[in-house]
Structure 1
Amino acid sequence: MSEPILSVRDLTTSFFTRRGEVQAVRGVSFDVHEGEMLGLVGESGSGKSITCMSVLRLLKAGGTIKAGSATFEGTDILSLDEDALSDLRGNRIGVIFQDPMTSLNPTLTVGEQVMEAVRRHRKASAAEARARAVELFELVRIPSAAKRLDSYPHEFSGGMRQRVMIAMALACDPKLLIADEPTTALDVTIQRQILALLKDLQRRLGMSVILITHDLGVIAEVTDRVLVLYGGLVMETAPVRELFARPAHPYTVGLLGAVPDLRDDTHKRLTPIPGSPPNMLAPPPGCPFAPRCVHAMSQCMAALPPLFGAAHQSRCWLQHPEAPKVDAVHEVAA
């Protein structure tokens, strides 16, 4: 496999609040290879978005990157000064932010918002920027592209606003696209269209993509490899087909058990994961999923397991060579 376009190592991010330190990301490591679509999946609060916002250094007030590195095309992003970072964001790395309903500026036309990035990073004239915006609107399949540049966000449907967000992210031909919950607040039909568009653009443009979502159906449909996050940690990582065929962590099994299978006509009830996510003001010393896990042992409560495995890794003591064999860990996904 080729050298990764992005390599994140031991990324640790906290938010300092009046109540104390919220340990949002705790030593996350992963690679993204050229032309790959990597999925980040997990419950709300698992650290998915904060991981990527840390890489881009777009944290909200109180957020601090405490340790780690994020190397993009040979350069550690976390060590760049603000000018160099500004040249990178929106240029070599594009971002689709959550919720197209609120991410666009309601006082500017959609064309102005797309052209801003082109003029900023490509030093283009107004005419050149407008021509590029038309080209981008056509690329993301917005009808009557030239006319729609002068529309305001409120004149677009949710799906069309999302296409505008994608056009903005692609304005400068990025090598890496970070898509943060790109189908949030969209109905199922539009979600499918947006996902198909993202996958098509990735293939045609040769981009690498990080897709952040809580929806395993989205992960199954478009990604190549998956990181399952929980409690600010990578709990499991594997090629997407391997993950769905044989999940190795009880948390992943729980996520899969809560997803309806439309191919199953037995009307089997979904299996929710009991309990609540950990309090990140005081994460447990052991596996953060242990209090919710039916297979938890005393070792799970006492010590955090490492990631076991190579291509398919799982942060679970059940994967230790001397652990008891628990075949039932795979039953929910079967």
Structure 2
Amino acid sequence: MSTPLLSVTNLSTSFFTSRGEVKAVRGVSFELRAGEILGIVGESGSGKSITCMSLMGLLRSSGRVIDGSALFEGRDLLTLDEDELSALRGNDISMIFQDPMTSLNPTLTVGEQVIETILRHRKVSRSEARARAIELFELVRIPSAAKRLRSYPHEFSGGMRQRVMIAIALACDPKLLIADEPTTALDVTIQRQILALLKELQGRLGMAVILITHDLGVIAETADRVLVMYGGMVMEEGPVRELFARPSHPYTQGLLASIPDLRDDTHHRLTPIPGSPPDMLRPPKGCPFAPRCAHAMAQCNAALPPLYDAGPAHRARCWLHHPEAPRVAGITAELVPA
């Protein structure tokens, strides 16, 4: 098997506030291979975005990585200084943020913002950078590409602004693209267009992608593998088809039960997950999902479960997968006698 492009081990990130230490990310580990799309899904506050902000060195001043490593092509991103990270950002690793209107500079034309990215990382003339910007606008299907270089962000629709952000992210042919909720502010039709464009470009350019979202439907259509995060931790991970066919953690099951299935003609009441996410100022000693879990046992509150094998390349952080745990249909269904 090929060496991972990115290998994250035991990543832990905290924010130090006037109220105390907020443990936002706790021991997250995963690997990403070249050309792979990894989805990271979970409720707001689960640690999805902070995980990737930690890798990029983009934490707010109160945030600090307190443990772990993140090897990108053999270099630990967490040990690089600001100059070294700045040379990587926008070049080998690029990021698309949630809201393109606040990410783009309103005082510069969109063309200038693409051109300055190219000039920052490539030894080319300004005319060559402009030609590359036009090529990128055509790649992301912005009509009248050469003319629109002279436009300002407010002259574009939300979907077109997101296409500009994708063009900037692709300007230097990155090996890894991180897309943080890239369709949140867009209507459903434009969402589908942007996701289809991202998947097409990923296939054409061969880059790896980390797709952060709260929408399992987006993950199902786009990703190859998925991490399900909750309470700053990975609760379940595996190939998308395997995880959707056999969700093996109660939290993943709860997420799936709370979204409508448009393939089903019958009407079913959606089942919300009761309760609230944990307070990360005082994270629980045991499983962070235990207070909201219908299957919680005494052991769930007493100790944090490890990641158990739940199928081919599929793992779940749940005590129900312990050999001596009760069998629960739908979670440990393969162990339930016929």
Task: Give me the TM-score of the superposition, normalised by structure 1.
Answer: 0.98
SS in 2 for 1:327: coil
Unpaired stretches in structure 2, ≥5 consecutive residues: 334-338
Look up the match of 2:198.
198
CA distance in 1, matches of 2:270, 2:332: 15
Structure 2 equivalent of residue 325 of structure 1: 327
Three-state SS of the structure 1 residue aligned to 2:6 is strand
Q: CA deviation at 1:327?
A: 0.6
Separation in structure 2 between the aligned mates of residue 330 and residue 39 of structure 1, nearest angstrom: 24
Shift of 1:125: 1.7
Question: Structure 1 CA distance, aligned partners of 2:81 and 2:301?
Answer: 41
- Counterpart in 1 of 2:318? 316
Which SS does the other structure have where 1:4 is aligned?
Answer: coil
Contact kept, 8 Å, 1:247 with 1:330, in 2: the verdict is no
1:253 and 1:330 in contact (8 A); partners too? no
State whether residues 98 and 185 of structure 2, in contact with CA within 8 Å, keep that contact through their aligned partners in structure 1. Answer: no
TM-superposed CA distance for 1:124, in Å, is 2.1
Does 2:117 correspond to 1:97? no
**1:129 partner SS:** helix
The one-letter code of the counterpart of 1:311 is: A
**How far apart are 1:87 and its partner, in Å?**
0.6
The residue aligned with 2:336 is: none
Say which is worse superposed, 146-155 or 118-127, in terms of deviation: 118-127
Q: 1: CA distance between counterparts of 2:139 and 2:107?
A: 24
- Correspondence 1:53-202 to 2 at 5 A: 53-202=53-202
2:212 corresponding residue in structure 1: 212
Cα RMSD over matched residues? 1.0
Please report how far the alpha carbon of residue 81 of structure 1 lies from its aligned counterpart in structure 2 after TM superposition.
Answer: 1.9
**91-100 or 275-284, which deviates more:** 91-100
1:236 aligns with: 236
Q: Which residue of 2 aligns with 1:247?
A: 247
Matched residue type, 1:323:
A
Kindly state the Cα deviation for residue 329 of structure 1 after the two structures are TM-superposed: 3.9
Per the TM alignment, residue 130 of structure 1 is displaced from its structure 2 partner at its CA by 0.6
CA shift, 1:187, in A, is: 0.3
Q: Is the 8 A contact 1:318 1:326 kept in 2?
A: yes
| Structure 1 position 268 matched with structure 2 position 254 | no
CA distance in structure 2 between the aligned counterparts of 1:261 and 1:149, rounded to whole angstroms: 41
Q: Which runs of 4+ in 1 moved over 3 A?
A: 328-331
Give the conservation status (yes or no) of the 8 Å contact 2:246–2:330: no
Q: Distance in 2 between matches of 1:22 and 1:81?
A: 24
Shift of 1:330: 7.9
Counterpart-to-counterpart distance in 2, 1:269 and 1:113: 47
Per-residue CA distance 1:213-242 (angstroms, 9 max, x = gap) = 000000000000000000000000010000
1:152-206 CA-partner distances (Å, limit 9, x unpaired)? 0000000000000000000000000000000011000000000000000000000
Indicate the residue corresponding to 1:258 in structure 2.
258
The structural deviation recorded for 1:264 is 1.2
